Amino acid sequence: MHRNRSLSYSRYLQLATVRLDGRPANRTVVFRGFMTKGDRLKFVTDQRSQKVIEIAQNPWGEACWYFPKTREQFRISGQLTIVEYTEHLCYQSWQELSEAAKSQFFWPDPGEKRSPNANFDPPDPISQQPPPNFSVLLLTPERVDHLQLRGEPQNRTIYEIQGHGTSKGRAVNP
Ligand SMILES: Cc1cc2nc3c(=O)[nH]c(=O)nc-3n(C[C@H](O)[C@H](O)[C@H](O)COP(=O)(O)O)c2cc1C
């Protein structure tokens, strides 16, 4: 993250889940930092979105993250957890959002037919408390597949959680 900080889009990654019919679903999300304790990745999302329904049925997910500057890909898989808006973590994450990002949570239901007279105006002022459809999404990594394009040949390392949360890297062919 540090070595790619000059590129603002380094915070965008793809997060895959499993649809109710077993097919894959994938979308771009913004990385909102790590939890201070442990190594869980934080995102924010709308409770009304499809991914939340998918995670309730099947918590497994995989993030795919490419850093163009250092030319590294990380595929991070693990379980996804939805944190409800009443939790302190949501309050904290809500404070960290820009007004533009907050206002999206007041838009009409995502994925529903767009009505010509739909109201996209956020309340003024926007509350300090997150609305009920705001949630934090946490990814607890269990396996990381790290591919470094730099190097001749490239380098690829797999990390898997062993008991007690430790993980040891295993070099594999790229
Ligand atoms: C650059 C970019 C950043 C995005 N960031 C988020 C995000 O942080 N959280 C989120 O829920 N959706 C984000 N979206 C929208 C999702 O990609 C997706 O369209 C939306 O969450 C609905 O997905 P779903 O129907 O699979 O739940 C972002 C989209 C783009 C293009």
Q: What is the pLDDT of residues 118-156, one digit of tens each?
A: 999 999 999 999 999 999 999 999 999 999 999 999 999
* Cα–Cα distance list, 27 to 24, 75, 132, 141 (Å): 10, 14, 22, 18
Compute the distance from residue 41 Cα to the ligand 1 centre, in Å.
16
Gap from CA of 63 to ligand 1 centroid (Å):
13
Return the sign of the alpha-carbon dihedral for residues 39, 40, 43, 44: negative
For the CA of 32, the nearest atom of ligand 1: 8
Mutate to test the pocket of ligand 1, among 10, 13, 26, 29 (most ligand atoms within 8 A of CB): 29
Q: Which has more confidence, 76 or 5?
A: 76
Kindly indicate the confidence band of residue 167, based on its pLDDT and cuts at 50, 70 and 90.
confident
What's the pTM? 0.96
Residue 164 in this model has a pLDDT that exceeds 80 = no
Residue partners of 163: CB distance under 8 A and separation at least 6: none
pLDDT value of residue 99: 97
Structure confidence at residue 162 as a pLDDT band (50, 70, 90): confident
Is the CB of 97 within 6 Å of ligand 1? no
Question: Torsions phi, psi of 3, nearest 5?
Answer: -70, -15
Of 64, 29, 28, the closest CA to residue 44 belongs to: 29
Report angle CA 76, 97, 95 to the nearest 5 degrees. Answer: 110
pLDDT band at 86 (very low <50, low <70, confident <90, very high): very high
Q: Is 119 in the pocket of ligand 1 (CB under 6 A)?
A: no
The mean of the pLDDT values for the chain is 96
Give the model's pLDDT for residue 168.
Answer: 82
Superfamily of domain 2-109+121-172: Electron Transport, Fmn-binding Protein; Chain A (2.30.110.10)
What integer is the mean pLDDT of 98-118?
97
